[in-house]
Amino acid sequence: MNLVDLFRVTLPETALEVAALVVLVVDLGILRKAALGTRVAAAAVLGVLGSVVALALLPCAGSTGFSSGEELLLASGGIAAVAQAGILILTILTLLLFIGSSFTRHAAEYVAVVLMAAAGGLLVAAAQDLLIIFVGLELLSLGLYVLTAFNKHSEKSAEAALKYYLFGGMSAAFLLFGFSYLYGIAGSTNLHQIMRAAFFASAAGGAPLLYVALVLIVVGLGFKVAAVPFHLWAPDTYEGAPAPAAAFIASASKVASFALLISIGAATLHLFDGLKQVVLIADQAGTAPAHLGLAMPWMQTLLLLSAISMIVGNLAALAQSSVRRLLAYSAIAHAGYMLLGVANLGFSTATAQAVLYYVLTYGLTTIGAFGVIQVVENATGSDKFDAFLGLHKRNPLLAAVLLILFLSLAGIPPLVGFWAKFNLFAAVLGVGTGAVSFSLVVLAIVLSAVSLYYYLQVLKRAYVMPAADETPIKAHPVTLLVLVAIAMAVVVSGCLPTILQTWIANAHF
Amino acid sequence: MLAWTIFCSFAGAFLEAFIPEARARLARWLALAFAVAGFAIAAVDFFTHIGAVRTVLVDLSWVPALGIRFQLAADGISRVLVLLTGLASVSGVLFSWNIEKRTGQFFAFYLALIGGVYGVFLSYDLFLLFVFYEIAIVPKYFLIAIWGSTRREYGAMKLALYSFVGSAMVLIGLLASYSLAGAHSTTLVGLAHANLPVSFQMWAFPLVFVGFGILAGMWPFHTWAPTGHVAAPTAASMLLAGVVMKLGAYGCLRVAMGLYPHGMDPWGFSVLGLGSWRDVFALLAVIGIVYGALVALVQTDFKFVIGYSSVSHMGFVLLGLMTLSQIGLDGAVLQMFSHGVIAGLLFAIVGRIVYERTHTRQLAELETMHLARRLPFAAWAFVLAGMASMGLPGFSGFVAELQVVVDSWQMNPVWTIATAVGIVIGVAYTWRALQKAFFADKLPTAEDHPKEGWHDLGAITWPEYTGVGLLLGASLVVGLYPRILLDSIEPAVKALLAGGIQ
């Protein structure tokens, strides 16, 4: 245990927490009498500065991580660093969207909570230890509950927050229960120790208890990524939360959760890494003990979640009439695609990188979509499909951004959504040679053909159907700038996918 | 040089998107300029490369990690189809000269579609081909849904979903072949060299063939075609029938047949006389020919007649492909060109020249309008186009269909006879539509004749004359001197038959 190491590895988190305090002090101390617009802008800018500093401090963490004795507690560098950088960038974008919104008078509190939740996200992305995982997840989740409830004038916001909180509390309890079993079996809270102990425990006939623990943990984590059947909070939360908060929930928090799933998945596979010598005794048939340890059950559970998330998400989205709920169900479907990747991690890092690529670009696109919703809601007071009628007349630029983002979500080339899907499915087929993985890829592709229908329903309102009201919609210049930047990023990284891919593959911070 | 057809069209689409709604004139001329530029490049390249072997146009590494290349190449088949695309795009702009609503956006989607089509015909990397193929889907939806007529939103959505399902099947084939081939390369040549196992080709071939076949109007997956064609604005239905259906047929030829040649091997057993996927698809093609013609015979909407005739004519292309012989494939590619030109012409006459003036396409109502007297140009143009469509000698359809029909005898004489019946029905439905729409034999009586004279239908404008002349001329030239295209097609088909894509 070297506390200097700990300080070094958690520099970005520290920067975020300091920034959160600074935002509060500045807003409550210096800007008390200032106009709301100024306070919102100041708080957001300070928050962005804090995140930028955290981003700049990421490389200082090195690549060795923080260990206590033999046990790695916090990873740094590589995949963890990519996820952390992604979380910070997405946080910056959601903070910038906040500038154009007007749902709260408590600007500083909002930004501070976002920053603290982001710090939780950073911890989750790097955590290799059950306790840190739990603390990180709770820090992240508590922030998200508060953010969901932030619009005090909206009943929906309060209702959504309560639902989110109750579901979240319940699933956290499940998670903790599962963790306690794992600790009981392994006598350690370290992921790698646990996986090794699980291997030997299952060889000694302890498999049933392990599976109980596994299911409990999957309940908790499935809730975080909104996988069916733990998805019930998502539509209400996406609908009720203020737009920038919903964007944060849909993007940065997703990145953190998937990074965690990747860490756990990798730990189930790499259970003998770092050991000098391993002697495996096979049974008389000479088959490799593939059923031992958690790798197989973990994979099978995730495949199951993936399949039903894809199906339920895509089919339920067909029946929506509110764009936010549509995005919620499409988020469930996308989580299904990503879970397919997480279930097929394999020993190379190709799939992990593909999943990260997917979740980062998906987060980016969703933030843009919520940005558009925010502008439209400010003008029309509704997020129903009909609020988007004639958008191409009312604000051509906004309509063009919506077109690009939704087509990207539907997976139309040359936008980044298509590339992310192709990359992910190619990686899955490269790892999972079995019929199950292949048929799930087929299912995913077929369902993404279905998804085109509901994305086109929104675009149809924006471009095809006649406008009921042709007064122009004004967007805050910062919001518009962010949206255009996101749309351009979606196009550029779709046409030149190598840029982001190389960055993810060679992330030596 | 040929690669610039793609870039040129996308650049045009990008510029058009920024033209304000009030500047319709500017949008039109700009679109015409970009379409003509594309056509000129295609034509120059075509006539300077007659009989040339495959030439690589652009070859850049796109995604090195996955072995995806930005590889454009052209052989005789691609050149013919690129020429067709150029021709169709220019005449399509001419026949959309009267679009007043959101003109800039119309041409932006139009040129984006054209760019995607050029891209498919020139791609030699399967991933790239797929990207262009999908780029072509979305503009179709908006062209039909915004500027279309009869049940446009339904027709547009149906077409988009059918296309997307087809492309999903292609994507599955692409991913499976890619990972089975060792995940080194997505170029057509690379995949063709990968020696994909026969058992894999046996299921990948029908999957990908049907995936592309949906867009080629293959029976029974053709139902998007009539509704889509009818709903589409004139230029879009010209493009749909003229080039987009060719995308499907081209994909069948280049990808399905090129990558999975063993998928057409005999199964070793036969079900109802069908012994291989080749027999199955040939049978579907024959059914398409006869069924399309029969359904066209009973339509009451003028445009539906043409829509179903497209299904029938595309059947010849698919049948030609399945003959797997020099003459049959020549005929199939020639039929792609021929149908592209003739269907474009028919849709232009029905959709633009007649419908925009009479505001009805119901044959029963057109019967009472005595159009032969009031729009003699339209009547004569339709007579000529109808003759071309029936496959009378002297027009391109004759040469193309003759080659396919002759060669199908080698496969199964019964199918040849069925096809011949289809041709005869083709004469019947064209004749029927022609007669009902233009030459209803009841002469106008004095009571029929409005006191203040016939409502003026408006003179034929110069873009219409030019467009009709362009398409009719192309069909005549190819019909009278087919070697102009065959000299390019033959060596390419020979190379394809000799060694697949390798």
Pinpoint the alpha helices (H) of A251-395. Answer: 252-269, 295-318, 323-343, 350-380, 391-394
Q: Residue B155 above 90 pLDDT? A: no
CB A400 within 8 A of CB A487: yes
The pLDDT of residue B395 is 86
Nearest to B433 by CA among B481, B501, B493, B371: B371
Q: Do B172 and A445 touch (CB under 8 A)?
A: yes
CB B251 within 8 A of CB B210: no
CA distance A15 to A17: 6
B267 vs B247, which has greater pLDDT? B247
Q: What value does the mean pLDDT of chain B take?
A: 86
Average pLDDT over residues A45-56: 93
Q: Mean pLDDT across the stretch B106-131? A: 91
What's the rounded mean pLDDT across residues A402-430? Answer: 91
The reply to whether residue A452 touches residue B160, judged by beta carbons under 8 angstroms, is yes
Residue A54's pLDDT band (cuts 50, 70, 90): very high
C-alpha gyration radius of chain B: 22
Comparing A112 with B19, the larger pLDDT belongs to A112
Asked if the Cβ–Cβ distance from A497 to B63 is below 8 Å, we say: yes
Residues A418, B63: C-beta atoms closer than 8 Å: no
Whether A76 contacts A61, CB under 8 Å? yes
Q: What is the pLDDT of residue A289?
A: 54
State whether B168 and A445 contact (CB < 8 Å). yes
Q: Which residue of chain B has the CA closest to A410?
A: B164
Find residues 287-316 of chain B whose CB sits inside 8 Å of chain A: none
Mean pLDDT for B300-306 is 87
State the pLDDT at residue A1: 62
pLDDT band for position A246 (50/70/90)?
Answer: very high
Task: Please write the tens of the pLDDT for every residue from B51-84.
Answer: 777 888 888 888 888 888 888 888 888 999 999 9
Which residues between 355 and 414 in chain A have a beta carbon less than 8 angstroms from any beta carbon of chain B? 392, 400, 407, 412-414
Helices (H) and strands (E) in chain B, counts: 24, 4
Q: Under a CB-based contact definition with an 8 Å cutoff, are residues B82 and B74 in contact?
A: yes
**pLDDT above 70 coverage of chain A, percent:** 95
Structure tokens at B328: 């049959």
pLDDT given at position B219 = 84
From the list B138, B153, B178, the residue facing A426 with the nearest CB is: B178
Q: Does this complex have an ipTM over 0.85?
A: yes
- Judged by CB atoms within 8 Å, which residues 409-438 of A form the interface with B? 412-414, 418, 422-423, 425-426, 429-430, 438
CB-neighbour burial class of residue A286 (10 A; exposed 0-12, middle 13-18, buried 19+): exposed
Place of tokens 């196009």: A491
CA–CA min distance A404, chain B (Å): 11
Determine the distance in angstroms separating the CA of B165 from the nearest CA of chain A, rounded to an integer.
6
- Cα–Cα distances (Å) from A49 to A42, A88, A95, A112, B199, in that order, read 10, 11, 10, 12, 59
Task: Return residues 313-342 of B near A (CB < 8 Å).
Answer: none
Which of A414, A453, A502 is facing B131, going by the closest CB pair? A414
**Cβ separation of B17 and A464 shorter than 8 Å?**
no
CA B309 – CA B437 distance, rounded (Å): 16
Question: How many angstroms separate the CA atoms of B390 and A373, rounded?
Answer: 54
Q: What is the pLDDT of residue B226?
A: 86
Average pLDDT, chain A: 88
Q: Do A438 and B160 touch (CB under 8 A)?
A: no
The SS3 of residue B457 is coil
The burial class, CB within 10 Å (0-12 / 13-18 / 19+), for A309 is buried
Torsion of CA A416, A419, A425, A431, to 10 degrees: -110
B chain contacts of residue A501, beta-carbon cutoff 8 Å? 63, 65
Handedness of CA B111, B115, B116, B121 (dihedral sign): positive
Tell me the C-alpha distance between A118 and A495, whole Å. 30
Q: Which two tokens stand for residue B123?
A: 């791609």
Of B65, B127, B179, the CB nearest to A501: B65
pLDDT, tens digit, for every residue of B165-215?
Answer: 999 999 999 998 888 888 788 888 888 888 888 888 888 999 999 999 999
**Using CB atoms and an 8 Å cut-off, which of residues 179-198 of chain B contact chain A?**
179, 183
B65–A453 C-beta distance less than 8 A = no
Separation between Cα atoms, residue A422 and residue B125, nearest integer Å: 15
d(C-alpha B488, C-alpha B124), whole Å: 18
User: CB B134 to CB A497 under 8 A?
Assistant: no
Tell me whether residue B450 is in a domain: no
**Hey, is the C-beta of B130 within 8 angstroms of any chain A C-beta?**
yes
Among chain A residues, CA nearest to B173? A442
For residue A509, pLDDT beyond 50: no
| Domain coordinates in residue numbering, chain A | 3-273+290-505
d(Cα B433, Cα B423) in Å, to the nearest integer? 15
B161 vs A407: CB contact, 8 Å cut-off?
Answer: no
Rounded distance between C-alpha atoms, residue B165 and residue B212, angstroms: 10
Q: Band of the pLDDT at B275, cuts 50, 70, 90?
A: confident
**B424 pLDDT more than 80:** yes
Q: Using CA atoms, how far apart are residues B56 and A9, in angstroms rounded to an integer?
A: 52
Min Cα separation A303/chain B (Å)? 19
In the structure encoding, which two tokens stand for residue A391, read together?
A: 């958008």
Q: Is A175 helix (H, G, I), strand (E, B) or coil?
A: helix
Cis bond leading into A414, ω under 30°? Answer: yes
Distances A234 to A227, A249, A331, A369 between C-alpha atoms, Å:
9, 10, 9, 16
Q: Identify the three-state secondary structure at position B381.
A: helix
Q: Which of A455, A234, A420 is nearest to A331 (CA)?
A: A234
Contacts across the A-B interface (CB distance below 8 Å) = 73
Give the per-residue pLDDT at B446: 59
pLDDT category at B379 given cuts 50, 70, 90 is confident
Residue A74 forms beta bridges with which residues?
A66, A127
Let me know if residue B434 belongs to a domain. Answer: yes
Q: Which residues of B touch A413 (CB under 8 A)?
A: 130-131, 134-135
Residue-wise pLDDT for A65-98, tens only, equals 788 777 788 888 788 889 999 999 999 999 999 9
Asked if the model's pLDDT at residue B442 lies above 70, the reply is: no
Chain A residues within an 8 Å CB radius of B183:
426, 430
Contact between residue B501 and residue B188 where contact means Cβ atoms under 8 Å apart: yes
Residue B352 confidence (pLDDT) above 90:
no
Considering only the beta carbons, identify the residue of A412, A425, A453 that sits closest to B161.
A453
Exposure string over A125-146, b if 16+ CB within 10 A, otherwise e: bbbbbbebbbebbbbbbbbbbb
Question: Which residues of A are less than 8 Å from B141 in CB distance?
Answer: 456
For residue A24, pLDDT over 70 is answered with yes
The model's pLDDT over A181-221, given as tens digits with 9 standing for 90+, comes to 999 988 888 888 888 888 888 877 777 888 899 999 999 99
Optimal mutation site among A421, A456, A493, interface B, most CBs of chain B within 10 A: A456
Q: Is B147 on the interface with A (CB under 8 A)?
A: no
Q: How many CB atoms neighbour CB B269 within 10 A?
A: 7
Whether B91 and B348 have beta carbons less than 8 Å apart is answered as yes
Encoded tokens for B400: 């193309």
Structure tokens at A319: 């029946």
CB contact (8 A) between residue A449 and residue B135: no
A446 and B135 within 8 Å at the Cβ level: the answer is no
B312-320 mean pLDDT: 90
- Asked if A166 is an interface residue toward chain B (Cβ–Cβ < 8 A), one would say no
Mean pLDDT of B217-225: 88
Best residue in A463, A493, A496, A499 for a mutation probing chain B (most B CBs within 10 Å)? A463
Structure confidence at residue A141 as a pLDDT band (50, 70, 90): very high
Q: pTM (2 decimals)?
A: 0.91
The three-state DSSP-derived secondary structure of B281-322 is HHHHHHHHHHHHHHHHHCCCEHHHHHHHHHHHHHHHHHHHHH
Report DSSP state, residue A292: S
Range of the domain at B319: 4-445+457-499
Instruction: List pLDDT tens digits, range A255-279.
Output: 999 999 999 988 888 777 666 666 6
Q: Distance from A454 to chain B by nearest Cα, in Å?
A: 11
Q: Which of A414, A463, A498 sits opposite B135 (nearest CB)?
A: A414
Contact B175 A449 (CB under 8 A): no
User: How many domains are contained in chain B?
Assistant: 1
A51 touches A95 (CB < 8 A): yes
Residue A101: which of A51, A141, A153 has the closest Cα?
A: A153
**B109 in contact with A at a CB cutoff of 8 Å?**
no
Nearest CA in chain B to A427: B179
Digit-coded pLDDT (tens) for B15-30: 888 888 888 888 889 8
User: Residue B359 contacts by C-beta under 8 Å, 6 or more apart in sequence?
Assistant: none
User: Do B127 and A418 make contact, defined as CB atoms within 8 angstroms?
Assistant: no
Contact indicator for A206, A185 with CB cutoff of 8 Å: yes
